[in-house]
Amino acid sequence: MSEANSPILQVEKLTVSFRQGQESLTAVRDVSFSLAAGQTVALVGESGSGKSLTANAVMRLLPPSARLDSGRVLFDGSDLAALPESQMNRIRGNGIGMIFQEPMTALNPLHTIERQISETLILHQGLSRQAAREEVLRLLDLVAIRNPRSRLGAYPHELSGGQRQRVMIAMALANRPEVLIADEPTTALDVTVQAEILTLLKSLQAELGMALLLISHDFGVVRRMADQVCVMRQGEIVEQGRTATVFSAPQHAYTRTLIEAEPAGQANPLAKDAPLLMQGEAIRVWFPLRKSLLGRPLSYVKAVNDVSFEVREGETLGIVGESGSGKSTLALAALRLIRSQGKLRFLGQDLHSYKGRALRELRKDMQIVFQDPFGSLSPRQSVAQIVAEGLLAHGLCRDEAERDQRVIAALEEVGIDPQSRHRYPHEFSGGQRQRFAIARAMILQPRILVLDEPTSALDRSIQGQVLDLLRELQQRHKLAYLFISHDLKVVRAISHRILVMNQGQLVESGSAEAVFESPQNSYTRKLIRAAFELSTETGG
């Protein structure tokens, strides 16, 4: 991609701060960069470095506690910081589109996918409902949603994390903006779809001359996509330059640390006599797709179809596959959070036989950490209230003082300063929020923990810290993990055994070493090839 002479977007000495009572905390300081038509500039850095905050400042979407202290954001020569809100609303979507990092919080849970995408087409382009529907179908097909017509009436909670992210991309591209801000656009996507989406974004750039501001912790994506890289640390740009130059000869020590950060390590040794904790035989989760006039199902979505598994005390069972393969559905069935058929046993007992109070008691032993650390934490509760939720639900503390002490201990165990427990989730980075979610689960001292994409929203260096934490907690408490991820490098670094799923079917299983070193199924080979080839591609 060639760089145009004059930039379409210029950020000049941008400074953003947060108000904390009478004090002010600077979160972004003197950030400057420019973006030309057809060019891709990447902002990289650890969680909390100010990447997303910079993007939100450009769009004037700062949270109420934040303010733009100084600097200018010039778009087509106009300072966005000085425009009235009515003009800014016209620029959002038409002039500048944005793919948000956390699709579950960005999508309206009460509206169908068709309505959410078509609204922007009707509002900005004046299309009729029928014309908008046809354009929605085209967009969903572009972003690799299978059988898009059947998904028009779906709500966000009915889609997988990767499918929701693709819907967000379709919405952002709907009005063909001049500038697209992509905040972790492939975070929730498996590696094969990552490649498809990145190819799509590149082709749209070539077709429309669209400028792309890419925010990512995935250096494989940055290498492939970006012409220029800006490395951010603690709210400041510490290094910037052409992508090839920055990756081949980084000048700043922090840049070198980021480049060298990759998921490393291996699973804790598993005791030979480790007892069997959970076992599933021929698990099925079928969702009715169409019903007859009498209400009988005519067809089904076979989300999980005859899958068997087992997990022992202290063991990590990695579950991998593309978005929509049934990974999360299998885990939810294992926890009795959705209905399933087949045999399911926990500590030798039939899980399906537990009802009412007995099932609620059992839930202390089976906890879950969700993919989206922001969507799973209530914005109206402080960190202390969030972590203490399970204690209150199960009536486990005599008084408030005991509850507070247990919250402090849980936060310390996951590496969080307990002095921050009275603050709210939006005041923390993604990595810190995920630690809160882990603390909330661990405070109940469970036997088994489902980890649903627990590192997908985190940069590589923070991923490594979270993996170290999970291995440490597992060894200390003899925890069993069901570890769901599309990131095969992360799975390899923590799993004892692997299940590979494709369209609801179990296509391969075995020890982590055997599956990665000698995969037997062609689909497994495709996943491994995509995972390890994408990270080695180098862009402009």
Q: Which domains does the chain have, with CATH numbers?
A: 1-95+215-261 (3.40.50.300), 276-375+446-534 (3.40.50.300)
In terms of Cα–Cα distance, which of 491, 433, 431, 489 is closest to 462? 431
The pLDDT of residue 2 is above 60:
no
Residue type present at position 318 = G
Tokens of 268: 């804790």
Q: 297 CB contacts (<8 Å, ≥6 apart)? A: 288, 289, 290, 291
Express as a percent the part of the chain with pLDDT over 90: 57
Strands 316-320 and 497-502: parallel
Bridge partners for 11 per DSSP: 33, 73
Over residues 204-211, mean pLDDT? 84
Instruction: Say if residues 493 and 264 touch (Cβ distance below 8 Å).
Output: yes
d(CA 171, CA 118): 8
CA distances to 36, 90, 188 from 6, in Å: 6, 23, 34
Q: What is the DSSP string of 245-294?
A: HHHHS--SHHHHHHHH------PPPPPTTPPEEEEEEEEEEEEEEEE-TT
CB 183 within 8 A of CB 215: yes
What pLDDT does residue 387 have?
94
Q: The tokens of 353 are what?
A: 């036989």
CB atoms within 10 A of CB 128: 11
Q: What is the pLDDT of residues 454-508, one digit of tens each?
A: 887 677 777 888 899 999 999 999 999 999 988 888 999 999 999 999 999 999 9
pLDDT in tens, 266-314: 899 999 899 999 999 999 999 887 777 777 777 788 999 999 999 999 9
The token pair that represents 125 in the structure block: 């382009």
At residue 153, what are phi and psi to the nearest 5 degrees?
-90, 5
User: What is Dmax (Cα atoms) for the chain?
Assistant: 70
pTM of the predicted model, to two decimals? 0.71
